Amino acid sequence: MAPAKLKIAIQKSGRLNEDSVRLLKDCGIDLKNGVNKLKTEADNFPLEVYFLRDDDIPQYVEDAVADIGIVGENVLYEKNKQAEIVEKLGFGKCRLSVAVSKSVAYGGLQSLRGKRIATSYPGIVGRFLEENGIKVDLHEISGSVEIAPGIGLADAIVDLVSSGSTLFMNGLIEVETILKSEAALIRNSVLDADRQAILDKLLFRIRAVKKAKNNKYILLNAPNANLEKIISLLPGMKSPTVLPLAEPGWSSVHSVLSENEFWDIIEKLKAEGAQGILVVPIEKMVI
């Protein structure tokens, strides 16, 4: 019998395609050339890749046509299929928001009662409004939702927003956020032992890649007189590496910093006399 392969569904083209392919590449998985194909496979990992419209991915995962998939949480929740999130992936970040024309005064959620609302997300929006006890006239449209108020089709819209520039260009302002979303790895709930083992291997790599992205490797020269203070500022994986420099009275200190605390700590290090600070990206990080 041929060895088992895990089948993953990713977006064929669109906002998630490039980051999904890059994530696999960063995990050391090389795909056979097949950009315009429906299906390809990896040369060096037991993985088969299907390129699909994002809207279809939850259904394929529910039906086990694909074992796993990469899709925005917004699509997963809209489709309401039997597929669970294994790992959020940190790209494709956006929010599903209510927007109204900037020329109307918005009076809170209650003011939407009885209004015409256009959206491509009738499932999520319908559930949200029902939970809040608000009845509206919901219109499902499949694209260009942002033009609906301008052409008199709707009083408000619910659409995906990232920078807000599309809303702005259409004279709309964002007034409520219904859902925050990012790309997620989803799975079919039943995988045989072989496929589960491949998924575990893939997840291990994905987590190492994600961790590496959030961390930087830092090298600096420290005057020995302030070495202790400088070391206390650096978290490091265990503790920083300290090596003597050729120049007496100085040491080289190496450590790992998370992106969030980065600027704050750099300033403090400089204040303690650290010099020649180098910050370099980390490719993989396994703890």
- Residue numbers of the site for ligand ATP (CB under 6 A)? 11, 14-16, 53-55, 72, 74-75, 92, 94, 160, 162, 181
Cβ proximity to Zn ion: between 17 and 40 the closer is 17
Cβ proximity to ligand ATP: between 161 and 253 the closer is 161
Sorted by sequence, the CB contacts under 8 Å of residue 102 that are 6+ apart come out as 171, 172, 173
Closest CA to 222 of 196, 253, 176: 253
Cβ proximity to ligand ATP: between 25 and 53 the closer is 53
Smallest distance from the beta carbon of 44 to Zn ion, in angstroms?
Answer: 30
Sorted by sequence, the CB contacts under 8 Å of residue 248 that are 6+ apart come out as none
Smallest distance from the beta carbon of 136 to ligand ATP, in angstroms?
Answer: 22
Cβ proximity to ligand ATP: between 58 and 92 the closer is 92
Question: What is the sign, positive or negative, of the torsion defined by CA atoms of 116, 120, 122, 128?
Answer: negative
C-alpha–C-alpha distance, residues 139 and 105, integer Å: 22
CB 52 within 8 A of CB 10: yes
Q: Is 15 in the site for Zn ion (CB under 5 A)?
A: no
Q: Is 54 in the site for Zn ion (CB under 5 A)?
A: yes
C-alpha–C-alpha distance, residues 274 and 257, integer Å: 15
Could you tell me where the DSSP H helices lie in 27-154?
57-62, 73-79, 122-131
Smallest distance from the beta carbon of 75 to Zn ion, in angstroms?
Answer: 7
Q: Is 176 in the site for Zn ion (CB under 5 A)?
A: no
Q: Is 73 in the site for Zn ion (CB under 5 A)?
A: no
Cβ proximity to ligand ATP: between 145 and 220 the closer is 145
Length of the chain, please? 287
Question: What is the sign, positive or negative, of the torsion defined by CA atoms of 241, 246, 251, 252?
Answer: negative
Cβ proximity to ligand ATP: between 83 and 257 the closer is 83
Smallest distance from the beta carbon of 38 to Zn ion, in angstroms?
Answer: 16
Q: Which stretch binds Zn ion (CB under 5 A): 35-43, 46-54, 203-211, 254-262?
A: 46-54
Structure tokens that stand for 128 in this block: 């949200």
Q: Which stretch binds Zn ion (CB under 5 A): 47-55, 104-112, 138-146, 236-244?
A: 47-55
C-alpha–C-alpha distance, residues 181 and 73, integer Å: 5
Q: Is 51 helix (H, G, I), strand (E, B) or coil?
A: strand
Smallest distance from the beta carbon of 181 to ligand ATP, in angstroms?
Answer: 5
Q: Which residues bind Zn ion (CB under 5 A)?
A: 54-55
